[in-house]
Amino acid sequence: MTKSLSLKTFVGACTAALLCLSQSAGAATIYSDDVGGFYEPSLVRYVVSKGSFPTVVIANPFGANTNDALLATLELPGDYPSVPLTATTAKARDDGHLVLVFNPVRASNGDTACAAPASQSASTPIGDANVLRLLAAFCYDSEMASEAIMEMPRPNGINDRTFDRAMDELMTVLLPTNSRHLIGGCVSAAAC
Protein backbone atom coordinates (compact mmCIF):
# COMPACT_ATOMS: atom_id res chain seq x y z
CA MET A 1 0.00 0.00 0.00
CA THR A 2 2.74 2.46 0.96
CA LYS A 3 4.78 1.54 -2.12
CA SER A 4 1.75 2.08 -4.35
CA LEU A 5 1.04 5.45 -2.75
CA SER A 6 4.69 6.51 -3.16
CA LEU A 7 4.61 5.50 -6.82
CA LYS A 8 1.41 7.47 -7.39
CA THR A 9 2.93 10.49 -5.66
CA PHE A 10 6.08 10.17 -7.77
CA VAL A 11 4.10 9.86 -11.02
CA GLY A 12 1.95 12.84 -10.02
CA ALA A 13 5.01 14.94 -9.23
CA CYS A 14 6.64 14.00 -12.55
CA THR A 15 3.46 14.85 -14.43
CA ALA A 16 3.24 18.23 -12.70
CA ALA A 17 6.91 18.93 -13.48
CA LEU A 18 6.43 18.06 -17.15
CA LEU A 19 3.34 20.25 -17.31
CA CYS A 20 5.29 23.18 -15.84
CA LEU A 21 8.12 22.61 -18.31
CA SER A 22 5.76 22.50 -21.26
CA GLN A 23 4.09 25.71 -20.07
CA SER A 24 7.45 27.48 -19.86
CA ALA A 25 8.69 26.22 -23.23
CA GLY A 26 9.13 29.25 -25.39
CA ALA A 27 8.99 31.55 -22.40
CA ALA A 28 10.82 34.83 -22.24
CA THR A 29 14.21 35.44 -20.70
CA ILE A 30 14.82 38.74 -18.98
CA TYR A 31 18.58 38.87 -19.09
CA SER A 32 19.17 42.37 -17.81
CA ASP A 33 17.37 44.68 -15.43
CA ASP A 34 18.34 47.71 -13.43
CA VAL A 35 16.59 50.07 -11.06
CA GLY A 36 18.05 53.56 -11.17
CA GLY A 37 18.93 55.62 -8.13
CA PHE A 38 15.75 57.67 -8.10
CA TYR A 39 13.25 54.90 -8.89
CA GLU A 40 10.41 54.76 -6.39
CA PRO A 41 6.97 53.18 -6.71
CA SER A 42 5.61 56.61 -5.81
CA LEU A 43 7.03 57.92 -9.11
CA VAL A 44 4.98 55.30 -10.97
CA ARG A 45 1.91 56.27 -8.92
CA TYR A 46 2.51 59.93 -9.79
CA VAL A 47 2.45 59.13 -13.51
CA VAL A 48 -0.63 56.92 -13.03
CA SER A 49 -2.43 59.73 -11.18
CA LYS A 50 -2.67 61.61 -14.48
CA GLY A 51 -5.04 58.94 -15.81
CA SER A 52 -2.85 57.16 -18.34
CA PHE A 53 0.71 55.96 -18.79
CA PRO A 54 2.37 57.55 -21.86
CA THR A 55 4.43 55.03 -23.82
CA VAL A 56 6.81 55.48 -26.73
CA VAL A 57 6.89 52.38 -28.97
CA ILE A 58 9.85 52.03 -31.32
CA ALA A 59 9.95 49.45 -34.15
CA ASN A 60 6.76 47.60 -33.21
CA PRO A 61 7.18 44.13 -34.79
CA PHE A 62 3.42 43.87 -35.33
CA GLY A 63 3.35 47.02 -37.47
CA ALA A 64 3.46 50.75 -36.75
CA ASN A 65 -0.33 51.00 -37.01
CA THR A 66 -0.78 48.51 -34.16
CA ASN A 67 0.76 50.55 -31.33
CA ASP A 68 -2.63 51.19 -29.72
CA ALA A 69 -3.57 47.50 -29.96
CA LEU A 70 -0.21 46.50 -28.47
CA LEU A 71 -0.55 48.92 -25.57
CA ALA A 72 -4.13 47.78 -24.90
CA THR A 73 -2.77 44.32 -24.05
CA LEU A 74 -0.34 45.63 -21.42
CA GLU A 75 -1.10 46.20 -17.75
CA LEU A 76 0.80 47.72 -14.88
CA PRO A 77 1.91 45.16 -12.29
CA GLY A 78 0.91 44.54 -8.74
CA ASP A 79 -0.77 47.14 -6.63
CA TYR A 80 -0.59 49.97 -9.13
CA PRO A 81 -3.94 51.40 -10.20
CA SER A 82 -5.14 50.18 -13.57
CA VAL A 83 -4.76 52.87 -16.23
CA PRO A 84 -4.38 52.55 -19.99
CA LEU A 85 -0.98 52.76 -21.58
CA THR A 86 -1.29 55.39 -24.29
CA ALA A 87 0.95 55.93 -27.30
CA THR A 88 3.05 59.06 -27.41
CA THR A 89 5.97 60.13 -29.56
CA ALA A 90 9.58 60.71 -28.65
CA LYS A 91 9.08 64.45 -29.22
CA ALA A 92 5.80 64.75 -27.32
CA ARG A 93 6.94 62.81 -24.25
CA ASP A 94 7.65 64.56 -21.00
CA ASP A 95 7.42 63.75 -17.34
CA GLY A 96 7.14 60.02 -16.62
CA HIS A 97 6.69 57.55 -19.48
CA LEU A 98 7.67 54.13 -20.77
CA VAL A 99 9.86 53.45 -23.78
CA LEU A 100 9.56 50.08 -25.56
CA VAL A 101 12.32 49.52 -28.13
CA PHE A 102 11.90 46.37 -30.20
CA ASN A 103 15.03 45.00 -31.90
CA PRO A 104 17.32 47.36 -29.96
CA VAL A 105 20.91 47.88 -31.05
CA ARG A 106 23.32 45.85 -28.91
CA ALA A 107 24.79 48.93 -27.24
CA SER A 108 21.37 50.26 -26.25
CA ASN A 109 20.36 50.51 -22.61
CA GLY A 110 17.80 52.34 -20.51
CA ASP A 111 19.83 55.55 -20.42
CA THR A 112 20.10 55.77 -24.20
CA ALA A 113 16.48 54.65 -24.70
CA CYS A 114 15.27 57.48 -22.47
CA ALA A 115 17.58 60.07 -24.00
CA ALA A 116 17.04 59.23 -27.70
CA PRO A 117 14.53 56.40 -28.17
CA ALA A 118 14.17 56.65 -31.96
CA SER A 119 17.87 55.95 -32.54
CA GLN A 120 17.94 52.77 -30.46
CA SER A 121 16.41 50.26 -32.89
CA ALA A 122 18.44 48.37 -35.49
CA SER A 123 17.21 48.67 -39.06
CA THR A 124 17.72 44.94 -39.65
CA PRO A 125 17.18 42.08 -37.18
CA ILE A 126 20.11 41.42 -34.89
CA GLY A 127 20.85 37.74 -34.36
CA ASP A 128 18.16 35.09 -34.85
CA ALA A 129 15.15 36.37 -36.80
CA ASN A 130 12.94 34.00 -34.79
CA VAL A 131 13.82 35.81 -31.57
CA LEU A 132 12.06 38.94 -30.36
CA ARG A 133 14.28 41.32 -28.38
CA LEU A 134 12.80 44.16 -26.37
CA LEU A 135 14.34 46.91 -24.29
CA ALA A 136 11.85 48.49 -21.90
CA ALA A 137 12.66 51.60 -19.88
CA PHE A 138 10.73 53.69 -17.38
CA CYS A 139 11.88 57.24 -17.93
CA TYR A 140 11.36 60.57 -16.26
CA ASP A 141 11.96 63.16 -18.96
CA SER A 142 15.20 61.89 -20.53
CA GLU A 143 16.49 60.12 -17.40
CA MET A 144 16.22 56.37 -16.83
CA ALA A 145 14.44 55.25 -13.65
CA SER A 146 14.45 51.52 -14.48
CA GLU A 147 15.17 49.22 -17.41
CA ALA A 148 14.78 45.59 -18.46
CA ILE A 149 15.85 43.70 -21.58
CA MET A 150 13.98 40.60 -22.71
CA GLU A 151 14.31 37.93 -25.39
CA MET A 152 11.68 35.41 -26.39
CA PRO A 153 10.66 33.34 -29.39
CA ARG A 154 8.97 35.64 -31.89
CA PRO A 155 5.23 35.58 -31.09
CA ASN A 156 2.56 34.84 -33.67
CA GLY A 157 0.84 38.15 -32.97
CA ILE A 158 -0.14 40.68 -30.34
CA ASN A 159 -2.66 38.29 -28.79
CA ASP A 160 -0.20 35.40 -28.44
CA ARG A 161 -0.56 34.10 -24.85
CA THR A 162 3.19 33.53 -24.54
CA PHE A 163 3.80 37.17 -25.47
CA ASP A 164 1.14 38.29 -22.97
CA ARG A 165 2.79 36.32 -20.13
CA ALA A 166 6.24 37.58 -21.11
CA MET A 167 5.07 41.20 -21.10
CA ASP A 168 3.45 40.73 -17.68
CA GLU A 169 6.75 39.43 -16.34
CA LEU A 170 8.68 42.25 -17.99
CA MET A 171 6.39 44.91 -16.53
CA THR A 172 6.74 43.36 -13.06
CA VAL A 173 10.54 43.57 -13.28
CA LEU A 174 10.50 47.04 -14.86
CA LEU A 175 8.10 48.60 -12.33
CA PRO A 176 8.67 46.87 -8.97
CA THR A 177 6.09 47.74 -6.34
CA ASN A 178 8.57 47.69 -3.45
CA SER A 179 10.88 50.56 -2.68
CA ARG A 180 14.54 49.57 -2.85
CA HIS A 181 15.28 52.04 -0.06
CA LEU A 182 12.94 50.28 2.36
CA ILE A 183 14.40 46.81 1.89
CA GLY A 184 18.10 47.41 2.20
CA GLY A 185 18.93 48.80 -1.23
CA CYS A 186 18.57 45.78 -3.47
CA VAL A 187 20.53 45.87 -6.71
CA SER A 188 18.18 44.04 -9.06
CA ALA A 189 14.61 45.03 -9.79
CA ALA A 190 13.63 41.36 -9.79
CA ALA A 191 14.97 41.00 -6.25
CA CYS A 192 12.95 43.98 -5.06
- Pairwise CA distance, residues 43 & 46, whole Å: 5
The DSSP element (H or E) to which 32 belongs, if any, is strand 29-35
Residue-wise DSSP of 65-125: GGHHHHHHT----TTS----EEEE-TTT--SEEEEEEESB-TT--HHHHHH-GGGGB-SS-
Looking at the predicted structure, is the pLDDT value of residue 10 above 90?
no
Residue 103 phi, psi dihedral angles, 5° rounding: 55, 55
> In this predicted model, what pLDDT tens digit does every residue of 46-68 receive, in sequence order?
999 999 999 999 999 999 899 99
What pLDDT does residue 129 have? 79
For the entire predicted model, the pTM comes to 0.79
From 3-7, 148-152, 159-163, 170-174, the region with the lowest mean pLDDT:
3-7
Instruction: Provide mean pLDDT across the span 24-42.
Output: 83
Which whole-number Å values give the CA distances from 11 to 18, 25, 134, in the listed order?
Answer: 11, 21, 39
Q: How far apart are the first and last CA of the chain?
A: 46
Q: Is 27 helix (H, G, I), strand (E, B) or coil?
A: coil
Percent of the chain with pLDDT over 70: 77
- Pairwise CA distance, residues 172 & 28, whole Å: 13
Q: Where are the domains of the chain?
A: 27-174
